[in-house]
Amino acid sequence: MLIFFSVNEKNDIIPKYPDKEVPMPDSVPMIRMSDVQQTAVHWLWYPYIPFGKLTILQGNPGEGKTYFAMYLTAACTNRQQLPNGELLEPFNVIYQTAEDGLGDTVKPRLVEAGADLDRVLVIDDRESMLTLTDKRIERAIRENQAKLLIIDPIQAFLGAQVDMNRANEVRPIFRALGEIAEAHDCAILMIGHLNKASGSQSTYRGLGSIDMTAAVRSLLFIGKVRDDPTTRVLTHEKSSLAPPGKSLAFSLGDADGFRWLGEYQLTADELLSGSEHTPTKVERAEKLILSLLENGRVCPSSVIDKAAQEQGISPRTVRSAKRNLASKLYVVRDGAQWMVSLLS
């Protein structure tokens, strides 16, 4: 490259670069937006969990966070479909937990969920405790091509010297973790507990600095439904990259184990305050079917469909309700029609 020189009024020789801007030695490094490559957001589960970003899942102990994480892991490693989500090709997941034993709790639950155990990995930190600033995290993601890292719970991995209530201590940790997620297009899901401020807005209910929730691109909550202890609801409180997702219910604690129940009309604030909810169409259909079959009654499937139609419930919703109730129903063909009853 040719370099030209000019002389100013003080007779100083100044190099001139006609084809490139060269910053002065003490100038501030800048990024021109015209030079930034535009990229699309990729989703592990739209719109709840993006690849390459941080997501937090919060809830009280014993309300289903870990079970949800296990079934999410199963979906990612064994090509199982999440509600309203696309089927993903199986990929490796790093599941880092500080609360549950790997042999007596984590593995049995993963087996129950149907996960491919060969694709579920844990960073061995028995000799040296892992923290969120540990270089082993990025190495493990890179070396194992992991597309999902689960941290359960956040507070256990901040490190003994970090005060989680101080924004100036939490912010750089989350920024560095976000850079790792982006560099490897890996979704990082961190599970956290709630504080005891029951009257607070949901965004402020997580333990630690508000900077934790400010730093993530998606914030989820899980909690029990007040009038049904076996039903949990996943709500989407913050979504920076897409419109918030619908609240989704799943069953946990009955004989059928974990199963998705469909959309649920409940916000995060309502969930955390213990408010009642408006039943979904599928729930209305389930209740109708059970009422038609109570006291040992046997009912033609066509009669159920007609009764649902009269209440404004579509055939598709009735089919979903029947699938949800499959373990409780006995269906047998009688001539040209199907007869339905409750299993005794």
Which one has a higher pLDDT value, 78 or 3?
Answer: 78
pLDDT digit string (tens) for 274-310?
655 567 788 888 988 988 888 888 888 998 998 888 8
**Angle, CA 236 vertex, CA 223 and CA 170 arms, to 5°:** 90
Asked if pLDDT for residue 236 goes beyond 80, the answer is yes
- List of residues 6+ apart from 33 with CB closer than 8 A: none
Q: Give Cα 191 distance to the centre of its chain.
A: 9
pLDDT digit string (tens) for 87-135?
889 999 999 999 889 999 999 999 999 999 999 999 999 999 999 999 9
Q: Is residue 32 part of a domain?
A: no
Q: Is residue 180 part of a domain?
A: yes
Which one has a higher pLDDT value, 258 or 117?
Answer: 117
Residue 26 confidence (pLDDT): 84
Integer Cα distance of 238 and 30 in angstroms? 30
Bridge pairing between strands 187-192 and 54-58 = parallel
The CATH number assigned to the domain holding 335 equals: 1.10.10.10
Residue 222: helix, strand or coil by DSSP? Answer: strand
The domain in which residue 330 lies consists of 281-342
Residue 48 confidence (pLDDT): 97
Whether residue 115 contacts residue 73, with contact meaning beta carbons closer than 8 Å, is answered with yes
Asked whether residue 161 falls in the same domain as residue 305, the answer is no
Query: Could you give the percent of the chain with pLDDT greater than 70?
Result: 86
Asked whether residue 259 falls in the same domain as residue 288, the answer is no
Residue 88 confidence (pLDDT): 85
Q: Tokens at residue 270, please?
A: 């309502």
Q: Is residue 264 part of a domain?
A: yes
pLDDT averaged over the chain? 85
Which one has a higher pLDDT value, 141 or 274?
Answer: 141
Q: Is residue 286 part of a domain?
A: yes
Asked if pLDDT for residue 142 goes beyond 60, the answer is yes
Average pLDDT value for residue range 197-207: 47
Residue 295 confidence (pLDDT): 81
User: Binning pLDDT at 50, 70 and 90, where does residue 200 land?
Assistant: very low
Burial-class residue 200 by CB neighbours within 10 Å (0-12, 13-18, 19+).
middle
Q: Tokens at residue 257, please?
A: 């184990």
Separation in Å, CA 188 to CA 21, 44, 50, 55, 94 = 38, 10, 9, 6, 10
Whether residue 150 contacts residue 93, with contact meaning beta carbons closer than 8 Å, is answered with yes
Q: What pTM value is reported for the model?
A: 0.71
Asked whether residue 305 falls in the same domain as residue 265, the answer is no
Q: Is residue 38 part of a domain?
A: no
Domain count for the chain, please give it.
2
Which one has a higher pLDDT value, 97 or 336?
Answer: 97
pLDDT digit string (tens) for 5-59?
555 555 555 555 555 556 667 899 999 999 999 999 999 999 999 999 999 999 8
Asked whether residue 263 falls in the same domain as residue 296, the answer is no
Query: Could you give the percent of the chain with pLDDT greater than 90?
Result: 46
Asked if pLDDT for residue 205 goes beyond 70, the answer is no
* Residue 142 parent element (H or E): helix 135-144
Residue 209: helix, strand or coil by DSSP? Answer: coil
Whether residue 227 contacts residue 188, with contact meaning beta carbons closer than 8 Å, is answered with no
